[in-house]
A and B are shown apart, each in its own frame.
Chain A
């Protein structure tokens, strides 16, 4: 493997600034890596070789004129296929959008382009971000680079696998109930869900608009912070975008990397442990907490009693919002149109198109949402779920009155085998147990790799949650724990991942 692709985005940015490498070199290195390994991993739905190289050449020209647009100018990135990209296909992992080329860019994509990051391609995902394994993609699953027979998490398994397999130094994900953080946990990578409203949702094809949030998918906390600084901030095109100045997350990550946690109050969430949590995941979690204590953190246990209802609440609110959002796929203005025989009406065309264009999980959730919103059930289901959402926010408020950050394992288990939970929706949903409360309350969260579970040798993740607007804390604490772990391991966790077959490059190439 080329050494270039193993370097972090921060290192690549430094090398670009020093003139040691060009954006064209490193964009080509990543495109070559994609060519070598993506047949096995299937992280990408679309690779834009020509576009990425053209953007890289522009970046190099800017830099040679002394006009680099920012530190990440020239560092390539992969984008989850749920964000619209002008001129590049955007499918959301669905047949209903097969071949659709949006006429506009999502704000996140505009900001990436403005900052000069070449876009390598679009990454695979569960259809419309519904799932925890990327197996619900209409274009076939992504495989976990640690074990190709296992899931890479979901819905953003493509973005997580792309950075884990060194196909991209950076990626964008979206997190509605854990779709950035859970894939991070099971692939040994870093993922951040910002505060709701911290990153624009304009051009993010909505799953559940009160929960969705785009964020960084990377291999290090510093890289995530640098990317967050590029994509975050107020956008007048998103009415839920928060209008305020944000602190530098890069600085927060750099400060945290010193590893000093003196005076930081850390709360371990009582409800996110116990039965159903894998032994090795809990062992790694306890070890991470111990590292924080030794670094000076003050650790206490904090109870958030309403969290036990978070999963049920989420699986009412999400389908309700999703069933409304997906009503726009009506076969009239864009996307698939299936015309039954005879002289069908518009409604018959709609029904046939939505049957052919949506997969199983999407149908399940649309019907569930339709049920939860129907008269007679609205109060018992959707109304009740919205009230419990209030209780969950109150639990967070009470907890953050006592501690600066809350911590838990990111996911209850390591990566399971492909196919294992495909026909058992409830078993699949349980993967999001620890990540969902943050979406319901809008608070920011990070998952960082914290070791391998003894019983299967697969990565586990450590989640840090902070109060709304205090995203800098997840970077500070995340960077500290990452530094402590990396020192103990003698290098990044991904050094322990197996070499991917077919990935060998000739001696001396690059």
Chain B
């Protein structure tokens, strides 16, 4: 079973958009190794002939009636926003500094 290294945890945290401090990395990396070690027991349990299940009670082609129903007003949709400008979500700059 591959150990999960501190560097790998740092990389995964970056992918998951979480800034982990050094102390958090020290704390979480060994715990994640223990968890991964435990879940690795499922390797090879199910053969290629077993189909995967994503939903236990599968439904297909679910549509609602094609009728207009009221949605949120702009004011309601913006009511929890950290910052609002001109009836829009106001966000930090998207591009890097060099852009």
Contacts and interface: CB of A to CB of B under 8 A. Distances in A.
Contacts of B80: 100-103, 333-335
A350 B17 contact: yes
Interface string B74-95: 0011011111000001011111
Interface residues of B, number: 58
Contact of B18 (A195, A363, A384, A387): A363
Given A236-B64, A368-B35, A386-B52, A104 B28 contact: no
A332 B78 CA distance: 10
Contact of B31 (A103, A364, A371): A364
A358 interface: yes
Interface string A196-240: 110000000000001000000000000000000000000011011
A425 B34 contact: yes
Nearest to B96: A345
Interface stretch (A67-75, A115-123, A309-317, A480-488): A309-317
B56 A196 contact: yes
B92 A349 contact: yes
Interface in B41-82: 41-46, 50-57, 59, 62, 64-65, 72, 76-77, 79-82
A239 B94 contact: no
A480 to B, nearest CB: 27
A389 B52 contact: yes
A104 B72 contact: yes
A96 to B, nearest CB: 11
Interface stretch (A126-134, A150-158, A336-344, A449-457): A336-344
B76 to A, nearest CB: 4
Given A337-B82, A368-B35, A312 B42 contact: yes
A313 B18 CA distance: 25
Contact of A355 (B20, B41, B76, B94): B20
A210 B56 contact: yes
Contacts of A364: 28, 31-32, 35
B56 A440 contact: yes
Contacts of B44: 384
Nearest to A239: B62
A440 B89 CA distance: 38
Contact of B94 (A236, A309, A346): A346
Contacts of B32: 364, 367-368, 371
B97 to A, nearest CB: 7
A425 B37 CA distance: 12
Given A103-B72, A315-B39, A380-B43, A333 B89 contact: yes
Interface in A418-435: 423, 425-426, 429
Classify chain A: how many residues form its interface, as a range: 35 or more
A54 interface: no
A441 interface: yes
Contact of B42 (A210, A370, A384, A425): A384
User: Which one of B24, B38, B83, B89 has the highest number of Cβ atoms from chain A below 10 Å of its Cβ?
Assistant: B38
Given A197-B57, A468-B56, A368 B50 contact: no
Nearest to A391: B46
B4 to A, nearest CB: 7
Contact of B91 (A332, A343, A391): A332
B92 A344 contact: yes
Interface of A: 100-104, 195-197, 210, 236-237, 239-240, 242, 306, 309, 311-313, 315-316, 323, 327, 330-337, 339, 343-352, 354-355, 358, 360, 363-364, 366-368, 370-371, 374, 380-381, 383-391, 393, 423, 425-426, 429, 440-443, 468
7 contacts: A312-B38, A335-B80, A339-B92, A386-B54, A387-B52, A389-B56, A442-B55
Interface of B: 4, 8-9, 12-21, 24, 27-28, 31-32, 34-36, 38-46, 50-57, 59, 62, 64-65, 72, 76-77, 79-83, 89, 91-97
Given A240-B57, A391-B45, 12 more contacts: A104-B76, A309-B42, A332-B89, A333-B89, A355-B20, A360-B27, A367-B12, A368-B35, A388-B45, A390-B46, A390-B51, A393-B53
Sort A-B residue pairs by CB-CB distance and give the 5 closest, nearest first. Answer: A442-B56, A334-B80, A386-B52, A337-B82, A387-B46
